[in-house]
Chains A and B, each alone.
Chain A
Amino acid sequence: MTTATLDVRRIVGRFSLTSMSHVGRLAYFSVELVRALAEWRIWVPRAFEQAHQVGVGSLFIVLLTAGFAGAVTALQTGYQFETSLPVYIVGGLIVQTIVLELGPVMTALLLSGRIGARYAAELGTMRVTEQIDALESLGRSPASHLILPRVVAGTLMLPVLVIFADAIGILSGYWFSATGVLQLTSADFIYGAQYFFRPWDLWYSLIKSMFFGLAISLVPCYMGFSTRQGAEGVGRATTAAVVSASVSILFLDALLAQILLPNA
């Protein structure tokens, strides 16, 4: 019993220490990035390359996911509200669900796997093959050459992808609610969408997308940059990056809803 208690304490202690050391190193890492902002001649062109890869490279899968999300939302809403409520509510519900939650969160979770894993694996491999050391030994900053372009691209491109995801999600939701059980008319859908819509909702969607974009690029870059111990270390860093980025998204989602939505 005593041994078990001690073990739990040891586990909790070790976990706390590891977490605190990660928080400290991530803070130091972020300060390095802020310093690197001054070297804009280096990171701006590279950020465009990365933004192209994040944006164009992810567009198809984001649109596909958003289309299915809109369709499922419409079908399930139709199933639940078939007789009990005015049908125009469905329009409002679909738009609000897509814009406030499904668009940003699903896109971010998708990209945490696609982009987060890629960033962590790329930087992790560069670390274990001494490419990052080589860059430093040439008197160049890894922050401005490698990290900042990725973080800027992730932070700025996620809101752009979310706009596309929102648009396709809503269109798909409208299509399936018009052709599904409810046979919703365009007028009902638009009336419901406008009735519940507040312009702030769109801003909220984009603001939280930027935070999600920061999380899915910063956390994996940090994990990749801190990789140790060869191929196994790269694998471990990649897994940890995707898990941490996904958890960060969920945490930020709750936190930003609390802070940014009035009367939440």
Chain B
Amino acid sequence: MIKLINVHKRFGELVVLDGVDFTVNQGETVALLGTSGVGKSVLLKHMNGLIHPDSGEVYVDGLSVPHLRRKALSKLRSRIGYVFQFGALFDSMSVRENVRLGITDQECIADDAYCRNRVSECLDLVNLPAGTGDKYPADLSGGMRKRVGIARAIAGQPTYLLYDEPTSGLDPVNADIIDKLVIKLRDSLGVTSVVVSHDVRGSFRVADRIALLHNGTIRTMGTPDEVRASTDVAVLEFFERDFETFLDAAG
């Protein structure tokens, strides 16, 4: 379970998070929506300790993330897969080496046969052909790079998956493929997921609950039906651009 309580974060004069309360229950997928630059990625990075809050608490599995010592934090991070917005693949390594780096179990890292099989398994899970393993990130399309990023994130068999804009910059076909992948991974691996996104349609499709980050706080959080029923002006304004989609999704 991930729990953020009254989290504040500012960069210089800019207040990004101003008292965020956010909970993700075991096994559910939560989509975190919001306008560009509102602090969605910053909030996500609090969950695996890449950013520490100025004040407030961040708990994952009951552990206070900002207060964990180095080894405990490494151990926790090995249970949290993080999919970066632009893939963040190591460009000097092949796809195979990138995914292999995601295998975090110390006992398995030295076992070559296990690692080879695990890498192939992960590439297969994200629907990438086996030959992709020998390519380098520069040889891949945007959609493939995102899928390699996902393969690396799941290589360590995580309990949690944090997706930072997994469909941004992709055409609708590739965005659909990624959405289906998020659902497939939730169903096949049973992971708890947080999906940061701009994509309203995709979010309504993949998420059990939806949260809207607005002016540094969580403006609304609930099931897709609860969010649709919201009469909050800020919520309505955010969804206005996707209004037809919103209504379509509402049936």
Cα–Cα, bound, A140→B103 (Å): 11
Chain A positions within 8 Å of B88 at CB level: 129-131, 133-134
Once the chains bind, are A139 and B104 in contact (CB under 8 Å)? yes
Question: B106 to nearest A CB, angstroms?
Answer: 10
Is there a chain B Cβ closer than 8 Å to A137's Cβ?
yes
Return the chain A residue nearest B102 by Cβ. A138
Once the chains bind, are A137 and B86 in contact (CB under 8 Å)? no
Is there a chain A Cβ closer than 8 Å to B67's Cβ?
no
| CB contact list, A114-138 vs B, under 8 A | 126, 129-131, 133-138
Q: Is the interface of A mostly helix, strand, loop or mixed?
A: helix
Once the chains bind, are B50 and A131 in contact (CB under 8 Å)? no
Chain A positions within 8 Å of B182 at CB level: none
Chain B positions within 8 Å of A133 at CB level: 45, 50, 84, 88
Cα–Cα, bound, A55→B48 (Å): 38
Once the chains bind, are B90 and A137 in contact (CB under 8 Å)? no
Selecting from B1-9, B74-82, B127-135, the interface stretch reads B74-82
Once the chains bind, are A129 and B86 in contact (CB under 8 Å)? yes
Question: A161 to nearest B CB, angstroms?
Answer: 24
Question: A252 to nearest B CB, angstroms?
Answer: 31
Once the chains bind, are A137 and B48 in contact (CB under 8 Å)? yes
Interface size of A by CB at 8 A reads 14
Chain A positions within 8 Å of B85 at CB level: 130
Once the chains bind, are A138 and B77 in contact (CB under 8 Å)? yes
Choose one: B50, B75, B86; the contact of A136 (CB below 8 Å).
Answer: B50
Cα–Cα, bound, A115→B74 (Å): 31
Chain A positions within 8 Å of B91 at CB level: 129, 131
Once the chains bind, are A136 and B77 in contact (CB under 8 Å)? yes
Choose one: A35, A126, A134; the contact of B82 (CB below 8 Å).
Answer: A134
Once the chains bind, are A137 and B74 in contact (CB under 8 Å)? no
Choose one: A129, A134, A135, A137; the contact of B80 (CB below 8 Å).
Answer: A137
Cα–Cα, bound, A90→B76 (Å): 66
Once the chains bind, are B84 and A139 in contact (CB under 8 Å)? no
Residue in A131, A133, A136, A139 whose Cβ sees the most chain B Cβ within 10 Å: A139
Once the chains bind, are B104 and A138 in contact (CB under 8 Å)? yes
Cα–Cα, bound, A131→B92 (Å): 11
Once the chains bind, are B50 and A139 in contact (CB under 8 Å)? no
Cα–Cα, bound, A151→B2 (Å): 38
Chain B positions within 8 Å of A35 at CB level: 70
Chain B positions within 8 Å of A129 at CB level: 86, 88, 91
Once the chains bind, are B77 and A139 in contact (CB under 8 Å)? yes
Chain B positions within 8 Å of A134 at CB level: 82, 84, 88-90, 152
Question: A264 to nearest B CB, angstroms?
Answer: 43
Cα–Cα, bound, A8→B88 (Å): 43
Question: B122 to nearest A CB, angstroms?
Answer: 13
Is there a chain A Cβ closer than 8 Å to B66's Cβ?
no
Is there a chain A Cβ closer than 8 Å to B166's Cβ?
no
Once the chains bind, are A139 and B86 in contact (CB under 8 Å)? no
The residues of B with any CB-CB pair to A shorter than 8 Å are 45, 48, 50, 70, 73-78, 80, 82, 84-86, 88-91, 101-102, 104, 152, 156
- Report, nearest first, the 9 A-B pairs whose CB atoms are least far apart: A134-B88, A139-B74, A130-B88, A139-B77, A137-B82, A139-B78, A130-B84, A131-B88, A139-B104
Can you give 21 A-B contacts (C-beta < 8 A)? Answer: A129-B91, A130-B84, A131-B88, A131-B91, A133-B88, A134-B84, A134-B89, A134-B90, A136-B50, A137-B48, A137-B50, A137-B80, A137-B82, A138-B77, A138-B78, A138-B102, A138-B104, A138-B156, A139-B78, A141-B70, A141-B74
Additional A-B contact list (16), CB under 8 Å, known A134-B84, A138-B156 = A35-B70, A130-B84, A130-B85, A134-B88, A135-B101, A137-B48, A137-B50, A138-B77, A138-B104, A139-B73, A139-B76, A139-B77, A139-B78, A140-B74, A141-B70, A141-B74
